[in-house]
Structure 1
């Protein structure tokens, strides 16, 4: 394993997650796949993301939209087993290709200012898509981020609501992954070694959050999504 690359991935992804409410799995997973086998990369991501969500949510729980979280959870209960089936049965290269095309297409729609009317049904659908992407490739963020960006949700609400949902989705996905795909010592040792890096990134991210204005936040969102989508596409 390339230690320097591992350190860089974890710190930068932790900063993004803390300062924006998304970013750890979106940035970390593609690069962790360079260092670990798919099962290991996804489970390391799930473990560290769970730690971040739990650590941050206590401080920002007053900004959570619990009604939306509830509908996300209900939708994800359908998506989680579907995602696990996709992970077990689909070639990882085809899976990453499909995810990359989806991310790039939806991001371009956002850049073109395509708006999404938020409804209860769409909340559930978004939760379902997030569930599929979490157990299949460890990335629940893209559906939520694209949905919230399209609805002009304030960054405080976006960060808090996604973190509350992540706490549920990451825990469930980790359990499902371990039960159906198995695990090994590499996952747990690497996650333990990464914890100090995660807390360092969280500290830096908290400081950056108050300096991110809505316009910059939106541009940054698009850049991260396009970068991730193009990276996954080029990997194939």
Structure 2
């Protein structure tokens, strides 16, 4: 498979570890998989391939839990997901015309900024208004297309409110699953989707399943500050490595 030639043995091992670690964070918190995975995959693949590969993995794991997500998610998740489908093609087109190194740097900065979003103070249980919800959906769509990361606008929208943890997780995961589907449809429509990517996703998917299962089991048992520290360290390392490759 020519696409696999982009990886040497060490990079395949790193991709598998990144897949496990990012899926563990997803199972634990409901978000973080793409934020961690895209910058690491972009070190071996061109950014648009890293984004679309992550979309495949996010779609696969989301579909494996779809009944649970539909049952537990807020109605707002469907509204946001519909608007993501509008913004994703625009973001993916922007990525397709951006230089590889520039795209790596932008993705790295998005990864770092996303972590800061979870540090925002909680705002109570009241739902957001239609303007905020619409803005989150459109911005999330642009980030889905450009960086494979619908999370930066979505995470503070849900995590910043004092609502049940399971509702928060189900709502975010449903948005991310539907956002991944929108990203892949956009990639196919724009003619930038390499159809070898699903095979690479199949190679990484067992690590995703195992990591998500372990994170889900650990959910509620690990202190907030521990997973925040782990995410921060991984995000920082991935961002530094992406920038070093871009400038080096």
Please give the alpha-carbon distance, in whole angstroms, between the structure 2 residues aligned to 1:106 and 1:115. 18
Are positions 1:156 and 2:166 aligned together? Answer: yes
Please give the alpha-carbon distance, in whole angstroms, between the structure 1 residues aligned to 2:176 and 2:78. 12
Q: Flag the 1:65–1:99 CA change in 2: closer, same or farther, 3 A.
A: same
Is contact 1:71–1:127 with CA below 8 Å preserved after alignment? yes
**1:1-236 mapped onto 2 (5 Å cutoff):** 1=7, 2-66=11-75, 68-101=76-109, 104=112, 108=116, 111=119, 113=121, 118-184=128-194, 186-212=196-222, 216-217=223-224, 220-221=227-228, 224=231, 228=235, 231-232=238-239, 235-236=242-243
More displaced 10-residue stretch of structure 1: 218-227 or 5-14? 218-227
User: TM-score, normalised to structure 2's length?
Assistant: 0.80
- Structure 2's unaligned 5+ residue stretches are 1-6, 244-248
Q: Flag the 1:112–1:127 CA change in 2: closer, same or farther, 3 A.
A: closer
- Structure 1's unaligned 5+ residue stretches are none
Is contact 2:89–2:183 with CA below 8 Å preserved after alignment? no
More helix by share: 1
What is the RMSD of the two structures over their aligned residues, measured on CA atoms?
2.8
User: TM-score, normalised to structure 1's length?
Assistant: 0.83
Please give the alpha-carbon distance, in whole angstroms, between the structure 2 residues aligned to 1:210 and 1:112. 20
Please give the alpha-carbon distance, in whole angstroms, between the structure 2 residues aligned to 1:207 and 1:183. 34
Equivalences, count: 232
